[in-house]
Amino acid sequence: MFPLRDNAAPRRLTLVNMMLIAANVAVFFYEASLGPAVEPFIESYALVPAALTAAFHGGSAAMLAPSRLWPLATIFTAMFLHGGFWHIAGNMLYLFIFGAAVEWRMGPFRYLLFYFFSGTAAAFATVLITPGSAVPVIGASGAIAGVLGAYFIFFPRGKILTILPIFIFIQFIEVPAVLYLLLWFGVQLCSGLSEGSRGAMMGGVAWWAHVGGFLFGIALAPLIADERPPRRRIAYR
Average pLDDT of the segment spanning 107-128: 95
pLDDT over 70 for what percent of the chain?
86
Residue 67 has pLDDT above 80, yes or no: no
Residue 164's DSSP bridge partners are: 171
- Cα–Cα–Cα angle for 20, 116, 36, rounded to 5 degrees: 60
Average pLDDT of the segment spanning 24-35: 96
Instruction: State the pLDDT at residue 1.
Output: 75
Residue 202 has pLDDT above 50, yes or no: no
Taking alpha carbons only, the member of 104, 99, 105, 101 closest to residue 119 is 99
Instruction: State the pLDDT at residue 132.
Output: 86
Contact residues for 142 (Cβ-Cβ < 8 A; gap 6+): 79, 118, 119, 121, 122, 123, 125, 126, 206, 209, 210, 212, 213
Taking alpha carbons only, the member of 229, 91, 193, 202 closest to residue 147 is 91
Asked which of 8-12, 93-97, 119-123, 181-185 is least confident by mean pLDDT, the reply is 8-12
Residue 229 has pLDDT above 60, yes or no: no
Domain ranges of the chain: 2-224
- Cα–Cα–Cα angle for 50, 52, 57, rounded to 5 degrees: 95
Is 2-224 CATH 1.20.1540.10?
yes
* C-alpha dist (Å) from residue 57 to 52, 54, 64, 68, 72: 9, 5, 11, 10, 13
Give yes or no for a contact between 161 and 174, defined as CB atoms under 8 angstroms apart.
yes
- Rounded to whole angstroms, the maximal C-alpha distance in the chain is 60
Instruction: State the pLDDT at residue 9.
Output: 86
Instruction: State the pLDDT at residue 74.
Output: 94
Instruction: State the pLDDT at residue 204.
Output: 62
Q: Which pTM was predicted? A: 0.89
Torsion of CA 154, 158, 163, 169, to 10 degrees: 150
Residue 24 has pLDDT above 90, yes or no: yes
Instruction: State the pLDDT at residue 20.
Output: 98
Asked which of 13-17, 95-99, 134-138, 210-214 is least confident by mean pLDDT, the reply is 134-138
Instruction: State the pLDDT at residue 232.
Output: 47
Mean pLDDT of the chain: 87
Average pLDDT of the segment spanning 84-96: 95
Taking alpha carbons only, the member of 16, 12, 30 closest to residue 143 is 16
Give the whole-angstrom CA distance, residue 166 versus residue 112.
38
